[in-house]
Amino acid sequence: MSTLTGQAGLWCFVLLCTALLVSFFVLTRHWDTFKKKWQKSEKSEKEQCAAQRELEYQLQLDQIILENTKEAVVITDADASILYINQAYTQITGYEPREIIGENPRVCKSGHHDQAFYESMWNSLLQKGKWSGEILDRRKNGEVYPKSLTIHAVYSKSGEIRNYIGIFTDITEKRKVEKQLKDLLFYDPLTNLPNRTLFEKLLDQSLLNSQFHDKPLGLLCVDLASFTDINNTLGYKAGDDLLIQVSKRIRSGVRETDTVSRSYSDQFMVLLSEVKLKDCPVLLSRRLLRALQQPFHIAGEKIFVDACIGISLYPEDGIDTQSLVKHAHTALNVARKRGPGNYQYFHTQMREDLVHRVTIEREMHHALEHKEFILYYQPKYALATGQMAGVEALMRWQHPQKGIISPAEFIPIAEESSLIRAIGEWGLKQACYQVKVWQDQGMDVLPMAVNLSAKQFQDKGLLPLVLESLEANKLKPEWLEIEITESILMENPEDAVRSLRELRKVGVQIAVDDFGTGYSSLAYLKKFPVNTLKIDQAFITDIVCDAHDKAIVSSILTMGQSLNLKVVAEGVETKEQMDLLKAMGCEEVQGYYLSKPLPPEGIAELLKKSN
């Protein structure tokens, strides 16, 4: 038994030694491989630690960035329950993390967006994983504010949404600046009223609305006549104050539903959106004019303002903004001519007049260049001798298509533009030249009377022009007679006296044309240094049968005699008129009875016949 035990022990010993030998052999054989593997596992553990540290550092960095960025960050889980907010979020919304974590961001909803808005946001998030846009939300204190928001969906490896990250900025300030810029673009900074750009946009919209509902609209164009004078005399500050006060009066003179705008300088537009009664624009115009007639108190002074109003209506006067504004302006021009405190509706006739005026004006430029203006001459006769006592130059327009056009048709249009200066200058020079031509032919047709328009009369260059025209033809000044209507003289009598004196000083004769129609007083007549009064045709036409006209002519003749002025009767068409005028003591007559205005050759023939 002990032998058996000893043998077994031996075998165990041998086996153990063999195993050890084999192990030693394997170990020595694969030592390098083992060594490398061991070293590698030691190294990757180190790398892992470093990466772990790097990750922690990165997270720390991210945390610092998240907490200090100006943009608010909110992170939710897949069910939109808030997990994290940064400091900026608290600053913008007023919510502390403890108040909002676990809540749904919809607690900040402002109620300003409809269901469709949120549906489209969620669709975009679910389909594209991202939504960005501007949204109105509510702060904790209840204030609604605009924000620029981007939401990203974050996915797990299996492709399911794990989180949503919302990043937003408060754009309240940006909106404020934008509004200020917009205000500058669309509002008049002085009166805070919509400017012309905005007014036209509002009118566009109102017109669309009116077209849809078949409702009329009214447009008033309010213009201050005396504003430039106030600016010039009291200064721009006073002018600004006046415009502010005027804007307030207009605003309070119309209804809440009406829109008032300052279109430019001293012009205001009012859009009447409710024109239920036909005369509503008239009632409002009257009310506005009455309000503006009351004195304004500016810079310690009482100031009175002259205003006029032009009215256009939709749809009668136009169906678009441009034509309604244009027609209100056209009506305003007519109101202005009628004088301060007037209002005027637009009429189709005005549009036709406007087209006519613009056409004539354009054609007159061409006519000047192409020498289409000519002068006719109408003689005046001395009643005592029956001799020609001078001629009056009367302009004609030889239009290539329309034939001879009367000055009554084109002179008033030329007077409204600056063209009258050029036309008048040509007329004066041509009349003087004609005197020279007749003289060279051995005829004395004197004096030569030339009509002057208001603009020419007020022109500083008148005297030099007169002197130049006389000089060019070697004419004596007394051979020229200037005719100025009584109404032009009475427009500004003081200035008229000065200009007339200058002309008289150089020896030019002066006749007051259309006398009796301009309401000049004897007091002024005494001051005007004139030579002749030309009784207007209106008093001559019925002089034989109308005692009233006869009395007026008689008093003019007496006035002329007492002031030592020559009196000429215009528009004498019959022998009876001429005989009566002669009996009444009138010196000279002019009219179709004796001669119509004639071309220069016609006058030459008349002279030859009388000799």
Residues near ligand C2E (CB under 6 A) are 378, 393-395, 406-408, 411, 424, 427, 451-453, 483, 513-514, 570-573, 590-592, 597
- On whether the CB atoms of residues 269 and 219 are closer than 8 A, the answer is yes
| 451 near Ca ion, rule: CB under 5 A | yes
The residues, any chain, with a CB within 8 Å of residue 552's CB and separated by 6 or more, are: 516, 539
> Measured from the CB of residue 447, what is the shortest distance to Ca ion in angstroms?
13
> Measured from the CB of residue 608, what is the shortest distance to ligand C2E in angstroms?
22
The smaller minimum CB distance to ligand C2E, of residues 112 and 596, is found at 596
> Measured from the CB of residue 403, what is the shortest distance to ligand C2E in angstroms?
14
Q: Which helix (H) or strand (E) holds 382?
A: strand 373-382
Burial class (CB in 10 A: 0-12, 13-18, 19+), 125: middle
Site string for Ca ion, 456-485 (x = CB under 5 A): ---------------------------x--
- Work out the number of other CB atoms within 10 angstroms of the CB of residue 225: 15
- Of ligand C2E, Ca ion, none, which one sits near residue 120, judging by CB under 5 to 8 A according to partner kind? none
The smaller minimum CB distance to ligand C2E, of residues 284 and 394, is found at 394
> Measured from the CB of residue 482, what is the shortest distance to Ca ion in angstroms?
10
The residue length of the chain stands at 611
Residue from 266, 306, 481, 514 in contact with Ca ion (CB under 5 A): 514
The smaller minimum CB distance to Ca ion, of residues 334 and 565, is found at 565
| 363 near Ca ion, rule: CB under 5 A | no
The smaller minimum CB distance to ligand C2E, of residues 241 and 459, is found at 459
Site string for Ca ion, 480-499 (x = CB under 5 A): ---x----------------
Q: Which helix (H) or strand (E) holds 575?
A: helix 575-584
> Measured from the CB of residue 529, what is the shortest distance to ligand C2E in angstroms?
20
In this structure, is the dihedral angle defined by the CA atoms of residues 81, 83, 88 and 91, taken in order, positive or negative? positive
Options 24-32, 81-89, 125-133, 447-455: segment touching Ca ion (CB under 5 A): 447-455
- Work out the number of other CB atoms within 10 angstroms of the CB of residue 365: 12
Strands of 385-477 (E only): list them.
388-399, 403-405, 448-451
Interatomic CA distance for residues 601 and 609, integer angstroms: 12
The smaller minimum CB distance to Ca ion, of residues 321 and 451, is found at 451
Q: What angle do CA 420, 425, 426 make, to 5 degrees?
A: 100
Interatomic CA distance for residues 46 and 40, integer angstroms: 10
The smaller minimum CB distance to ligand C2E, of residues 289 and 411, is found at 411
The smaller minimum CB distance to Ca ion, of residues 309 and 525, is found at 525
> Measured from the CB of residue 571, what is the shortest distance to Ca ion in angstroms?
8
Instruction: Give the CA count within 13 Å in the CB-facing half-sphere of 182.
Output: 7
- On whether the CB atoms of residues 102 and 114 are closer than 8 A, the answer is no
At 176, which amino acid appears? K
> Measured from the CB of residue 437, what is the shortest distance to ligand C2E in angstroms?
17
> Measured from the CB of residue 483, what is the shortest distance to Ca ion in angstroms?
4
The smaller minimum CB distance to ligand C2E, of residues 137 and 514, is found at 514
- On whether the CB atoms of residues 484 and 462 are closer than 8 A, the answer is no
532 DSSP 8-state letter: E
Matching residue, tokens 């006389």: 470
Options 104-112, 271-279, 510-518, 577-585: segment touching Ca ion (CB under 5 A): 510-518
The smaller minimum CB distance to Ca ion, of residues 318 and 597, is found at 597
- On whether the CB atoms of residues 218 and 279 are closer than 8 A, the answer is no
- Of Ca ion, ligand C2E, none, which one sits near residue 137, judging by CB under 5 to 8 A according to partner kind? none
> Measured from the CB of residue 244, what is the shortest distance to Ca ion in angstroms?
47
- Of Ca ion, ligand C2E, none, which one sits near residue 394, judging by CB under 5 to 8 A according to partner kind? ligand C2E
Residue from 241, 363, 486, 513 in contact with Ca ion (CB under 5 A): 513
Tell me the C-alpha to C-alpha distance, in Å, between residue 551 and each of 130, 233, 533, 548: 98, 45, 16, 5
Cis peptide before 340 (omega within 30 of 0): no
The smaller minimum CB distance to ligand C2E, of residues 270 and 420, is found at 420
The residues, any chain, with a CB within 8 Å of residue 256's CB and separated by 6 or more, are: none
Options 95-103, 134-142, 263-271, 449-457: segment touching Ca ion (CB under 5 A): 449-457
Backbone angles phi, psi at 154, to 5 degrees: -110, 130
> Measured from the CB of residue 378, what is the shortest distance to Ca ion in angstroms?
9
> Measured from the CB of residue 426, what is the shortest distance to ligand C2E in angstroms?
9
Nearest to 537 by CA among 582, 491, 485: 485
- On whether the CB atoms of residues 454 and 415 are closer than 8 A, the answer is yes
Q: Which residues sit at the interface with Ca ion, rule CB under 5 A? A: 451, 483, 513-514, 570
